[in-house]
Structure 1
């Protein structure tokens, strides 16, 4: 797989270095170098690319502003992803919020660049493999067939998480924590809402029992009127979800 890339930086030396690193990497193809985010945006209107190596601090339009524009204007099935290149580490969280794949802190060497580029390659390979292939309908195909995993954005990686590995999910203000059987003491932290994640989960396997918790039904060890027990963890059931939860309890009786 070859990824079409552009480099955007208002510093000529930095722009030249990133361009040289791209040309040195076999699975990357440099299609343009731009000294401003405005020029890059004009080019992207007619010629989308897979990956942008993007500086943040630039006049007229910053890299973060360009990232937000692109996020709102993705066309069709084409996906453009960003790797930020900056001398300022205070923008790391902002980069995460605009769905950047990685964050290279200047000055960086080719080994660090290649590590970030490989993350991008792995991301696009995962996306490519997860796209449904056109097939002729089969009469014997099960009507309820579905995937048994989801992808979570964790730091700057796309992580595949099997449904059967999930114990429960806790919602925070801007994040969710996904607790897993395979590593219960180290939850996966992902920048998404609990509601958004709830919509992706199969209802036959997961239930929301509280404004801050979703539980895996087959991981429940014990229930009471107001709580769910999963291992050593007690999770409250709020009034808003008691009716649905009561229907579930009937299966235990």
Structure 2
């Protein structure tokens, strides 16, 4: 064993908690591919997570969704004020202030990629290193902030649309319909699907058909030839099968 190995801190014991299977699977996959984290359990409810924390006092860190039925992630964090530390994962940015009130280590806004996850995990590693009396690992330089919204020309005005609110985009001949989680009716935008797709970040959106781009954070289920999101089932066309299969294989 090398000197570096001898002084290396133990891996941080983590619990992943999310009531959405795809989001839970993604967080678990991210934990397992991070060398200094150890996944000791995954749960689809805050109540089950609370029971797990009581049964396994060695759990140190929770990757915790906020909006869950029954006991919410925020309520669980308040109960565990003197227990494991928390990194929140949520699709709703208006919970950020509440997250800081319960002294969360970080706040990941869905849909997020591994780079954002790793930065939050490194923040946790630095915290536990200082807690143990060791030297904190070298900080990671902050990434340039990514815009969380887009402006769309609707009729005769520019409308600000939050990216996380876009469920899917449907291409018509000369227009696109932008279907939002917060609105019953889609926005009708004078542009092409290709041009709008160039403006949408590829790690949050995926084109699955000549007529559809989907918001990955809203995907509820996938099959070989379809994507289901918010009760709507959309087809995957052959020309976009390869990109879709790469996404699908992450959840196998």
Q: Using structure 1 for the length normalisation, give the TM-score.
A: 0.48
Q: What TM-score, normalized by structure 2, do the two folds share?
A: 0.49
Point out the structure with max Rg over C-alpha.
1
